[in-house]
Amino acid sequence: MSQPPYPPQYGQSHQQEALPGCWWHPDRQTGLRCTRCERPACPDCLREASVGHQCIDCVQSARQQQQAAATQYRRAGYGARTVAGARMSQRPIVVPALIAINVLVYLFTAAQAQDPMRNDDSAVFTEGVLWPVGIVVQDEWWRLLTSGFLHYGLLHLAMNMFALWILGRDLEALLGKVRFLGLYLVSLLGGSTAVFAFGDIQTGTAGASGAVYGLLGALLVAVLRLRLNPTGAIGIIVLNLIITVTIPNISLLGHLGGLVIGALVMVAMVYAPEKRRTAYQAGTLALLAVALLGLVLYRDAQLAELICGSQGVAC
């Protein structure tokens, strides 16, 4: 019958003496080690990690590195992004600024005309309203944009600014400041271009409705992209189109132009490939703006031949 070379008691004592002491508690012998730094550690000084166990120093060091990386990430302008590439949880800035500009312009024209309901008698209003003949004969191209910041009376202003606030807050949060401003301005230009290209050349048009309808078109695309129930967005668009058709002196062309352009812009914003998102979005905005300006130039040539040729006026 064989026997061990040492008595059992002696072997256990010898094994315990061979174990190293914990790095933080030297009086505690342990056979465990940190999987990261490989220092011996007792169970009280180890924490469970994704692979094995790490000592308290390594856990704290990893936490500090993660916090530093997160801070640097935020400072660099990164973080959670929307489907359009905008940072999450941004307060609306462009929408209040646009409302403020429209209100200030209205107050100025009302003061100049000395009548809040007939502010279109203002000289500034007359020089900024979308009047196709003025664009063709006198090359007053600024009317395509300035007309979007003029309104016929207080009620017209209030309706458009209320719609801008309701629609714009969520869309600015989704798109971010720069993208939203691009959407708004190109939609405004789309509404003005539709009026200039297909409307009555003797009728003056003003209002932010073209841009607001662009936001409506963008809202519908965003709802479809986010896979939300589109019934509400479609209902709002249909209701506004019915109002546009039934109430006199409302520019249907301006509304439709803004609606179509706003929807096209939003398609580029929310369906752009993530790796080339910014370039794709900027390119689409530029392409639409160039296309609209090309249509304006084409229509200008037609009207110049019609107006100036028939009246013998130099255009």
Q: Tell me the CA distances in angstroms from 252 to 166, 205, 242, one per residue in order.
A: 21, 11, 10
- Half-sphere exposure for 103 (CA within 13 Å, toward CB): 12
CB 280 within 8 A of CB 268: yes
Q: Tell me the CA distances in angstroms from 314 to 88, 137, 203, 269, 301, one per residue in order.
A: 54, 8, 21, 43, 13
User: Using CA atoms, how far apart are residues 94 and 229, in angstroms rounded to an integer?
Assistant: 27
Whose tokens are 């209002």? That residue is: 207
CB 193 within 8 A of CB 124: no
The percent of the chain in helix, strand and coil, each rounded to the nearest 5, is 70, 5, 30
Single-letter code of the amino acid located at 252: L
Catalytic residues: 209, 255
Q: Give strand pairing partners of 46.
A: 55
CB 246 within 8 A of CB 178: no
Q: Which class for 164: exposed (0-12), middle (13-18), buried (19 or more C-beta within 10 A)? A: buried
Q: 89 Cβ partners below 8 Å, 6+ apart?
A: 80
Angle, helices 153-175 vs 94-113, to 10°: value is 160
